[in-house]
Structure 1
């Protein structure tokens, strides 16, 4: 079974593709989106095996969205499903598994799914490249009204997410940034640790840890902020803090 995400701004086309994919018996739809911004955020969160992607979106271009996938921890396979055949060469330059021209029929889609299954089987079990430890950056660009300002990394208490928006919290301010959580984490050094799907914390700013509901915890920071630690991260966080 492969887990799929659909990016398509036309509801009828999206529903038809969902139906055809489900009918194959080898695809489970775990997310869908109409816009680039929502899609990039949600794909990074749910980490699908494959993204079925339209090219001409009402808000954005599917080609530009696909270029962002290479920066993700889990890079999904790409299948373009579009009414235009002029972009096929560009699509395969992005390592797309297939390029389907609408209207899509079940027989053609079955061939695509078979390609995906073969590709997934081949790459399953392939050793992953060793993670490159980030050297750390000293500054992060953030929004402040109509200005872009530079925040020193040492001033950051934590980075969080809210309503598909990433923000950076310092002692005095809470700034928005266009960077996604994983993109920021890649830029930071060892003093920063992801403690929840939606939070990264500066360990130098942690003053205490307290138990919370269902074996979860809260980190209490030096400015009084509380940041949740999800159960899946708790063991690693306690190890980093030297807590047994």
Structure 2
């Protein structure tokens, strides 16, 4: 059994319920509360961004409810363990249909929460390790999209652009937002397949049709889409290396 704290995300549409759970969790040294969410959609975004070990999840919420969140989570390659925390007992059968580790009724008893955490620890210690990528580079991304989590194959990505705290993954016909820094994303991508041309843009190498000199030392990448893909001066020598120049 690992000694590392359980990285935990609490999801509940009631602020008082979240506050009470925060107080309860503070009694357990082996729990690290990494975030809270008030809606199912927000929960999916935080799960993708924070990759928690444990999800303490309310069921009855407006919009995407806890069961919907749990169903979406099942598609993730690195799934958090789910413990439902609810005021209603009629969802118990459905909860275990989506592989919940435990089912706690509000108001949560501290001793009962301790039992649930111990069960989560046991389940996670016995779980098989996720297979590593053969070459160490990411092969797919799982991104929140409305009420789903969708798999985006790296081979389908043409371009990646920064948008504030997110990265937009462009495919042939759609785009998806991923909560990750461009520096981290660049590290995870195979440099034989992708190249960074700007502080806010990464391109797939085999989509590049040519380079265009715009004058005054300014260059752009031609993707054949009519877009303006300026090359940052810091990255110009790396991009030119593609042509052997």
Q: Normalising by structure 1, report the TM-score.
A: 0.62
Asked if residue 116 in structure 1 is aligned to residue 120 in structure 2, the reply is yes
Q: Shift in Å at residue 181 of structure 1?
A: 3.9
Report which of the two has the higher share of strand: 1
Identify the match of residue 100 of structure 1 among 90, 101, 104: 104
- CA 122–162 in structure 1, closer or farther in 2 if over 3 Å, else same: same
- CA 34–201 in structure 1, closer or farther in 2 if over 3 Å, else same: farther
Identify the match of residue 160 of structure 2 among 144, 158, 161: 158
Q: Shift in Å at residue 154 of structure 1?
A: 7.9
Asked if residue 224 in structure 1 is aligned to residue 234 in structure 2, the reply is no
Asked if residue 15 in structure 1 is aligned to residue 19 in structure 2, the reply is yes
Q: Shift in Å at residue 161 of structure 1?
A: 4.9
Q: Are 2:159 and 2:169, in contact at CA under 8 Å, matched by a contact in 1?
A: no
Q: Shift in Å at residue 49 of structure 1?
A: 0.4
Structure 1 gaps of 5+ residues are 137-141, 143-152, 183-189, 209-219, 228-237
Structure 2 gaps of 5+ residues are 146-154, 180-189, 212-219, 223-227, 233-238
- CA 46–130 in structure 1, closer or farther in 2 if over 3 Å, else same: closer
1:226 & 1:35 partners in 2: Cα distance? 40
Q: Shift in Å at residue 155 of structure 1?
A: 9.3
SS in 2 for 1:30: strand
> Where does 1:81-230 land on structure 2 (aligned, <5 Å)?
81-123=85-127, 126-129=128-131, 156-158=158-160, 160-162=162-164, 166=168, 168=170, 177=175, 179=176, 181=178, 201-205=203-207, 221-222=221-222, 223-225=228-230
Q: Shift in Å at residue 35 of structure 1?
A: 1.5
- CA 169–122 in structure 1, closer or farther in 2 if over 3 Å, else same: closer
Q: Shift in Å at residue 19 of structure 1?
A: 1.4
SS in 2 for 1:79: strand
SS in 2 for 1:5: strand
1:128 & 1:165 partners in 2: Cα distance? 25
Identify the match of residue 40 of structure 1 among 32, 36, 44: 44
2:132 & 2:58 partners in 1: Cα distance? 33
Q: Shift in Å at residue 163 of structure 1?
A: 5.9
> Where does 1:226-241 land on structure 2 (aligned, <5 Å)?
none
- CA 224–180 in structure 1, closer or farther in 2 if over 3 Å, else same: closer
1:194 & 1:57 partners in 2: Cα distance? 42
